[in-house]
Amino acid sequence: MKNKLLLTSALVSGLVAFGAAQADETKITGDYKLSYKMMGGKDNATAGVQGFGRETQINVSKSGELSNGIAYSTGFSFEADGNQSYAASDEGVYIALSMGDTTLTIGQDKAPNMDTDAVPRVGEVTSTGAAEGASKYSRDANTLYGSFGVALTQKVAGGALTLNYVPQVGDTGAQANDAAGNIEGKSGYEVLYKGSLGVEGLTVYAGMNDKDNDTGAGGGVERSSSKNSAYGAAYNFGQFAVGFGITKEEGALNSAEQKTSEVGATFAVADNISVGIGHAKTEDKGSGNDPDEEKVNYIQAGYNLGGITFQASYYDIENGGWTAGNDVETLLLRAGAKF
């Protein structure tokens, strides 16, 4: 359940002066997550690590119709992880203009992008819940979502097809409003389809991108050019859901090719209780690492009390970071709410 604070344009200073329609609406939403994490591994980064964590986010958005009849939405988000100060970071700021089934989005993060998948889960994705141990796992195929750019989205075939273009990969908008910065990354683009293909209960996605990152001075490599792809599907049978996802990253720094394959399934035990299992394998192809596979098995459970949800996730990691014997066990307990 999500409670929203709604403000009409009549209550917001200056909106009428700019000719905004009276039906325009401003929404303020947010969420928080509290967690407790325990890890057991064989190296200093994961041996006997435990502690509390937190994440909070505030979203402000506004939507309506322009004086020329074009629908619009705009907004921004602030996030703070742990004891960070609130910052826009890569949580997004955007302006979106829609005409029929076509939407043009200018900004960061908020357009559909390859930071997505179809694998059903009850708890956190491996890159969040077990990041310290499963350091090679990747589900977003080096997406461009954190860089400022322009996206064109067209509704097609029971879903949406999006083309993202970024003038400078790595430009997160860190400059002041009227300042400029020399971001060394070149341009990049991304194409993504995600939808149901008109079949109830089905989710499919497929995407690819081409990007050229600035890796900074040193190491003998100034740029990391990579071509990445991702695809997957899931089907919801009602109480039961199953799905898979595959990402491939070619030409990324320190790896000729990396591939992550993941499968997962969930089961709704009751209206407010669900459980899930999954397996992910990340392979290194071509750079000579031994071992060349990182494996993650996980089980999860979730309990929804309406206003507050609880999650428990257990991850069993083998050869974390493609390091022989770096086996890590992680337990993540999490509680959260949206408002």
**What percent of the chain is modeled with pLDDT above 70?**
81
Give me the residue spans of the domains in the chain: 5-338
Q: Is the pLDDT of residue 183 over 60?
A: yes
Is the pTM here over 0.85, yes or no? Answer: no
Q: Report, as an integer, the average pLDDT of 61-75.
A: 94
pLDDT for 295 equals 94
pLDDT for 143 equals 85
Instruction: Confirm if 301 and 311 have CB atoms less than 8 A apart.
Output: yes
Q: Is the pLDDT of residue 35 over 80?
A: yes
Q: Give the integer Cα–Cα distance in Å for 134 and 121.
A: 17
Fold category of 5-338 in CATH:
Porin (2.40.160)
Residue carrying the six token digits 């909106």 = 15
Q: Which has more confidence, 237 or 143?
A: 237
Q: Report, as an integer, the average pLDDT of 53-81.
A: 92
Find, among 152, 192, 145, 153, the residue nearest to 169 by Cα: 145
* Mean of the per-residue pLDDT values of the chain: 84
Q: Six-digit token pair at 68?
A: 């020329």
Instruction: Confirm if 231 and 205 have CB atoms less than 8 A apart.
Output: yes
pLDDT for 10 equals 36
Q: Is the pLDDT of residue 21 over 50?
A: no
pLDDT for 214 equals 62
Q: Is the pLDDT of residue 81 over 90?
A: no
The pLDDT-based confidence of 255 (bands split at 50, 70, 90) is low
The pLDDT-based confidence of 220 (bands split at 50, 70, 90) is very low
Q: Report, as an integer, the average pLDDT of 320-338.
A: 90
Q: Is the pLDDT of residue 120 over 80?
A: yes
Lowest model confidence (mean pLDDT) among 53-67, 111-125, 165-179, 256-270:
165-179
pLDDT for 257 equals 83
pLDDT for 15 equals 37
Q: Report, as an integer, the average pLDDT of 26-36.
A: 94
Q: Is the pLDDT of residue 185 over 80?
A: no
